Amino acid sequence: MPLNILITSTSFMDTPGIHQETLAQYDLQLNYLRGPLDEATMLNHIEAYDALICGDDALTEQVLRKGKNAKLKFVSKYGVGLDKIDLSAAQKLGIPVTNCPGVNQVSVAEHFFAALLCYLRNIHLQFNEVQGKGLWTRMTGYEMYGKKLLIMGLGRIGSEIAKRAKAFGLQVYGYDQHPPASLIEEGIIEMIDDLPTQFSQMDFVSLNLPLLPDTKHILSAELIQQAKKELVLVNTARGELVDQDAMIQALQNKTIGGYVTDVLDIEPMPSDHLLRHLSNVLITPHIGSRTFDSVQRQGMMAVQNLVDGLNIPLKTSNNS
C-alpha cells in the first residue's frame, strides 16, 4: 500500500516543474494542505501521514509525538530554516528530519537587491501612482553607491549578497562568528566586532542569520536606538530576529529610515498587522527564494531526501 504523504509547502505546490513531475513517478498517496500550518491544525491531521514535505509549519514536540504514535516516519523540510521544527523532540522520537541547504542563496541574494532598490527609488510607490491612479507625480530617491552595508550572518545567502554588493560600489561590512575566510582575503568584506558601536555607522543592514535562541531579537531595542535615522534594514531571514515593538516605534517616530522585509513574526500576515500601513515599510510575502529556478532545486532536493530516506519505489506499470 502506498505511503501517505502530506505536502504543505505552497511554493512546492504552486510552482510547476521537475520536482512535481519527479514526485509523481513514485508509489505514493499525495495529499495537500496549504501551509504554514499552526500546531492545532497539525495536531488535527498528523496521524494520517507516513511522512511530510513541509514548509514553515509548527512541528512541535506534541505534533511529532502524536505523529510518531500513529505512523509518521520522516520529515522532509522544503527550504533551509528548521526553526519551526522541534529537532530535539524529533531526534528523541527517532523521526529523521532533512532540509535543503545550498539551493536558494542566489534567489534570496537577488531579492535583497531588488527589494532594497525598489524601496530606495520608490518604485513600489511610483508604480501605484502611475498605473494605479494614472498620475505622473515624481518622487526623489536615493543611490546605494558608496554607502555602508552591514551583513549580519555570512552563510551562503549573506556571502552571495556580499559578492554582489561590491559591484554596486557599497562598502561592505560583516558580522559573524565564523566568516568565510575568502571574503576577507579577497577584500570583499571587512568584519566588525563591536556591533553596538559600529551599527550606528551603517546605512543599510541585511539580516541573514538563522533564528536561534541567541539570535532572537538580535535587532534589539537598544541596537535600533543606535541606528542613524537614514538606516534601511532589510530582513530576508526571520521576522523574530527583530524586536518588532521597538522597530515599529522607531518607524513611527522616523528615528530609522525604513524596514524592507520578506518575513514577519506571523505568516500569512494578518490584515491588522501593525507594520502594514506604515509608509516607511516595504513588505513582500516571503518570496525571497520563490523563483522557478530555486523552487525546482529545493523541490528536487526535498523529494530526493524523502525518497532516499524511506527507500520509496517508483510506480510500476500495474499501479501507474
CA 307, 308, 311, 316 torsion-angle sign: positive
Report phi then psi at 32, rounded to 5.
-130, 135
Q: Is 190 a catalytic residue?
A: no
- Identify the helix (H) or strand (E) that includes residue 113: helix 105-120
Do 158 and 206 meet the contact criterion of CB atoms below 8 Å apart? yes
Given 39, 61, 267, 273, the catalytic residue: 267
Q: Is 138 a catalytic residue?
A: no
Rounded distance between C-alpha atoms, residue 193 and residue 233, angstroms: 19
Q: Is 217 a catalytic residue?
A: no
Residue 2: asked if its preceding bond is cis (omega within 30°), the reply is no
Given 19, 65, 111, 286, the catalytic residue: 286
| DSSP string for 248-289 | HHHHHTTSS-EEEES--SSSSPPTT-TTTT-TTEEE--S-TT
The edge-to-edge listing of strands for the beta sheet with 3-7 is 28-32, 3-7, 51-54, 74-77, 97-98
Q: Give the angle 209-207-182 at the CA atoms, nearest 5°.
A: 70
- Give the end-to-end CA distance of the chain in Å, rounded to a whole number: 13
Virtual torsion, Cα 22, 27, 29, 33, nearest 10 deg: -20
Given 238, 240, 273, 290, the catalytic residue: 238
User: What residues are labeled active site?
Assistant: 238, 267, 286
